[in-house]
Amino acid sequence: MNRHLLPAVALSLVLSPLVMRAADDPPADPPSDSTLAHDQAKAVAATVKHDAKVVAEAAKKGAKQAAATAKEVAHQVAAASKEGAHEVAATAKRGAERTKAAVKGDKAPAAPAAPAKPAEKPKA
């Protein structure tokens, strides 16, 4: 036991100045309040920026969908208007023929059968 005691004492005497010097050094500064606030502000700014991008992308996608829907509705309205215009023109033509016949004193021609409507597209 004595043979271990002498090296232990020698080692403790050699290391004691190093331990004392480490104890005298102040610990590393913890983050100050201003640094912490700055870091939090950066985190909040990054979150807001990310959220703004997500909202902008969603708005862009919604606008594209709305434009596509409006375009489809416009085509449907145009097709319906064209069909209606054809029906009006056919009716006007029949009316003109009847009027001509009435002016000449002829009997009014029999009304031709209404044209068959094309099958409507199923709505998606």
DSSP string, 34-55: HHHHHHHHHHHHHHHHHHHHHH
Contact between 93 and 105 under an 8 Å Cβ cutoff? The reply is no
pLDDT at 95: 92
Torsion angle defined by CA atoms of residues 26, 27, 31 and 33, in that order, rounded to the nearest 10 degrees: -50
Q: Return phi, psi of residue 55, to 5°.
A: -65, -40
Domain residue ranges in the chain: 35-104
pTM to 2 decimal places: 0.42
Tens of pLDDT along the chain (124 residues) come to 556 666 676 666 666 665 555 545 555 555 566 788 889 999 999 999 999 999 999 999 999 999 999 999 999 999 999 999 999 999 999 999 998 888 888 665 555 555 555 555 555 5
